[in-house]
Chain A
Amino acid sequence: MEGATPTETMIVASARHLAGERVCFVGIGPPNIACNLARRTVAPDLELVYEAGVFGAVPERLPLSIGDPSLVTGATSVCSMFELFAYYLQGGLVDVAFLSGSQIDRFGNLNTTVIGDYSSPKVRLPGSGGACEIAINAHKVFVIMPQSTRTFVEKIDFRTSPGHLTGKRPAHWGAGPSVVVTGLGMYEFDDDLGEMFLTNLHPGVSLDDVQQATSWELRVGEHVSETPAPTEQELRVMREQLDPQGIYTRGG
């Protein structure tokens, strides 16, 4: 089987992080594939929660949108969006949520609103959607996004979803991301500094590559491991069942 693209490695590495998790809030795009891959591999008991108002989704196909009819058929429960956000998310039932962004800073704050100035943006991005309240109310946040000097920036243009703020965040305003997975490697956050540090390099990626793709001087963990390459089974599930047209996985 053909080797994994960086995006495929990113998705597989994210999926593996869901081992042992129970209730997962699924976001649009790569997180959607990662969560469905996890349910078919490392986390068969994972309950998938979608902001559209679904708990316990078992989609037969990979939905393009996160409001697909396949999320409903066979699900444990379908509820109003109010119930989903108020009872499941704000009520504290979500163990882990995936977020993404167009920009992230070293403290894991995320921008999905604008590039440039808010009132006259260079690029108008989609906005928060549910991301802001997810960042604040999920017990754990995993970030999954591509890495380059345009996405890993010294200062984000707009803070849509709070991460570890400037390093020391008040405890009840959300946990801040615990893991960031990109197409190049993986990061965790220092408890005292609230700053991300490199823990893993994906196969074939060097320390220099990740620094080149980061706008600040990257902190590197004491033990940086190589991410185990995606297995044949992981690639097969992703390519044959979850994204047969390669919309998300062949891009990178």
Chain B
Amino acid sequence: MSAAVADLVRDGDVVAIEGFTHLICFAAGHEIIRQRKRDLTLARLTPDVVYDQMIAAGVCKKLVFSWMGNPGVGSLHAIRRRVERADPAPLELEEYSHFGMVGRYMAGASKLPFWPLRSYYESDLPTVNPRIIEISSPYGDETVYAVPPLNPDVAIVHVQRASSGGDAQVWGLLGCQKEVAFAADRVVVVCEELVDDAVVRSDPNRTVIPGLIVDAVVVEPRACHPSYAQGYYDRDNRFYVEWDKIARDSARLSEWLDDWVYSLSSHQDYVAKLGEERWAQLTPTERWSQPVNYGGYD
């Protein structure tokens, strides 16, 4: 992880660590904080606790998003301090709706100048974001809204398993993992497990990202905590609730960053510090899918 972030994430980049609640690569966020990257534009539908941490740590100058909150809990306090009081510095915002952000990745991935969608009519969002533009249909008198492509410099995408060549397989909530990977210039795939190419080829429908577009593969088990990896470990809802208290107080938040990010040398230290008891609590029971027959055609 350290090498991938050092090589592929550069000061001033547009960085997207995607994953909708599921597969959010906190370990990558922490590594970016440890390497003290600066002036990043961070993009994500839901900034979540990972961007609250990164923004508190000062790596970010601008946020591109569609819903900023601590899901099911409340606010992201470090982000709010910067937006409401410029404390300790202002934060530039570029705001869409979820469908708008998804459309931006679709346009970015398909090399189109915009993506059309049926949203934003009579909303105030286009008045505060001039990049959301109403356009006429070329085939009738209807209008739709257009959003511009989003092509991050780097996408960091967590997956359950990948081959050493970067062919990546995901199950559970897919979020925009595929779209952001195809839209980005550089792609880091972080996986729970490295598997043989034969495992990937045994179930090609599950491959979301081909190694063709991947620049680095990082094997980093449990890298999503307190987010989760379906079938591997549960979302740590307790942490999300605790974060609300930690982040309300900027001194306490700094202490947390010292204890859990700066003073640790890698995510393996974080995993060990969290302790096996906590990991045991987060381990789900097993629920296997039924295999399918792809057939042999030799």
Contacts and interface: CB of A to CB of B under 8 A. Distances in A.
A52 B240 contact: no
B21 A65 contact: yes
A136 interface: yes
Contact of A52 (B21, B72, B95): B21
A136 to B, nearest CB: 6
Contacts of B79: 124
B228 A28 contact: no
A124 B22 contact: no
B172 A72 contact: yes
B179 A80 contact: yes
Nearest to A173: B121
Given A69-B284, A124-B68, A53 B179 contact: no
A133 interface: yes
A167 interface: no
A121 B103 CA distance: 27
Given A72-B230, A124-B84, A90 B173 contact: no
B178 to A, nearest CB: 7
Contacts of A128: 66-67, 95-98, 123, 125
Interface stretch (A158-166, A179-187, A201-209): A158-166
Counting contact residues on chain A (CB < 8 A from B), the size range is 35 or more
Contact of A81 (B71, B119, B174): B174
B173 A52 contact: yes
Contacts of B237: 64-65
Contacts of B68: 124, 126-127
B176 A80 contact: yes
Given A69-B235, A128-B67, A79 B228 contact: no
A212 interface: no
B12 interface: no
Nearest to A160: B123
Contact of A126 (B69, B120, B240): B69
B247 interface: no
Contacts of A238: none
Contacts of A90: 99, 117-118
The contact size tier of chain B is: 35 or more
Contact of B122 (A69, A122, A162): A162
B99 A133 contact: yes
B234 interface: yes
Interface in A21-38: 28-29
Contact of B106 (A63, A82, A129, A137): A82
Given A69-B234, A123-B84, A131 B97 contact: yes
Given A81-B98, A126-B67, A132 B173 contact: no
B124 interface: yes
Interface in A163-177: 165, 169, 173-174
Contacts of A113: 95, 124-125
B248 to A, nearest CB: 14
A132 B80 CA distance: 22
Contacts of B210: none
B125 A160 contact: yes
B272 interface: no
B54 interface: no
A90 B123 CA distance: 17
Contacts of A130: 67, 97-99
Residue from A79, A89, A127 with most neighbouring chain B CB atoms (10 Å):
A127
A120 B90 CA distance: 10
A72 B117 CA distance: 27
A78 B66 contact: no
A121 B7 CA distance: 38
Contacts of B125: 113, 128, 132, 160
18 contacts: A52-B20, A53-B20, A67-B173, A69-B234, A73-B287, A81-B45, A81-B174, A85-B99, A85-B117, A90-B99, A129-B66, A129-B67, A129-B98, A130-B98, A131-B97, A133-B98, A133-B118, A165-B122
Interface of B: 20-22, 45-46, 65-69, 71-73, 75, 79-80, 83-84, 95-99, 102-103, 106, 117-125, 128, 171-176, 178-179, 228, 230, 234-235, 237, 240, 284, 287
Interface of A: 28-29, 51-54, 63-69, 71-74, 78-82, 85-86, 89-90, 113, 118-124, 126-133, 136-137, 158-162, 165, 169, 173-174, 247
Counting from the closest, the 8 A-B pairs by CB-CB distance are A67-B21, A129-B67, A65-B71, A126-B69, A133-B119, A64-B72, A162-B122, A128-B97
Given A52-B21, A72-B230, A133-B120, 17 more contacts: A53-B173, A73-B287, A80-B175, A81-B98, A82-B102, A118-B124, A124-B80, A124-B84, A127-B67, A127-B95, A128-B125, A130-B97, A131-B97, A132-B123, A158-B124, A159-B122, A162-B121
